[in-house]
Structure 1
């Protein structure tokens, strides 16, 4: 009986440790996969503008066919990253996700009708002089996701043209 209790306790401890390791590691592993997929085409600190969403689009999650997406994997190793999203006359949002998948910042067209112009820095690092909007990232790497409502082909083409002017790049000193 003592042997059975010992194995049961051991099994319980292994199960708890495995569960905790999975719960703690999963966000980082999933973001690593997402960052690898997003940066595959255009690299780090550069917007990726995928084609219009269809019923077969499944790069990261099931996307909405009414949105034009853009994504940028940021890496702060070389310093702050400058991100812009030009104004849009309908719903538009820009979200910043840390390496552990936490959404650390979001802004939309109502908060920024003139578009978005921000700098991402490492938490605790100095803010660049003159930067109006600074987002502090708790991690060195993450993803910026931009969404624009574009339910028709005509609106998607307009969104595609607008996002071609957007910036996601290492801040020049």
Structure 2
């Protein structure tokens, strides 16, 4: 009887430890894989990359919408803050920019409804010195992460217009 209780307690402890390890590790592992894929195995960091028009076969982003034109920037703040500049789409097309930390936290969301002339900000790690510019500063808890630009583009014509606009996206060190 005592052996069964001991095995039961050991099993419950192992499940609890495994559960906690999964909860703590999964976000970092997921973002590491996403950052590696979106940056071309680390070759494109602090620069926007542009996804082709979404089809049923598209899987760079989980369940991408065929009505959106995507651009992503894997950022690295180890050398200091970066300037993010996302111009508006033509004809006041909808634009949404999200900043994700390396632990999957959604740090910030901005859109063209509140910023119709484009979205521009400084991104820096929490606790860092604010760069002396007159732009909003967004603080992230991690040095690395992903910035995602999504533009409404339900037709090929609108995709082409959004694609042209997003090619001017910037995600680069300040200076």
Normalising to structure 2: TM-score of the pair? 0.96
Instruction: Give yes or no for contact 1:119–1:131 (8 Å, CA) kept in 2.
Output: no
Deviation of 1:62 after TM superposition, in Å, equals: 1.1
Which residue pairs with 1:61 in the alignment? 62
Which residue pairs with 2:130 in the alignment? 127
Deviation of 1:170 after TM superposition, in Å, equals: 1.4
1:75-123 Cα distance to aligned partner (Å, 9 max, x none): 0011101111101212110000000101010000111111011110110
Deviation of 1:6 after TM superposition, in Å, equals: 0.5
1:93 aligns with 2:88: no
Distance 1:143 1:18 in 2: 28
1:156 aligns with 2:145: no
What secondary structure, in the 3-state scheme, does the structure 2 residue paired with 1:40 have?
Answer: coil
User: How many pairs are equivalent?
Assistant: 172
Distance 2:141 2:67 in 1: 31
What secondary structure, in the 3-state scheme, does the structure 1 residue paired with 2:39 have?
Answer: helix
Deviation of 1:11 after TM superposition, in Å, equals: 0.6
Q: Structure 1, unaligned stretches of length 5 or more? A: none
Which residue pairs with 1:37 in the alignment? 37
Alignment RMSD: 1.0
Deviation of 1:47 after TM superposition, in Å, equals: 0.2
Distance 2:118 2:46 in 1: 19
Q: 1:166 aligns with which of 140, 158, 169?
A: 169
Deviation of 1:60 after TM superposition, in Å, equals: 2.5
Instruction: Give yes or no for contact 1:31–1:99 (8 Å, CA) kept in 2.
Output: yes
1:111-162 Cα distance to aligned partner (Å, 9 max, x none): 1111011110110111111231111010010000000000111110011100
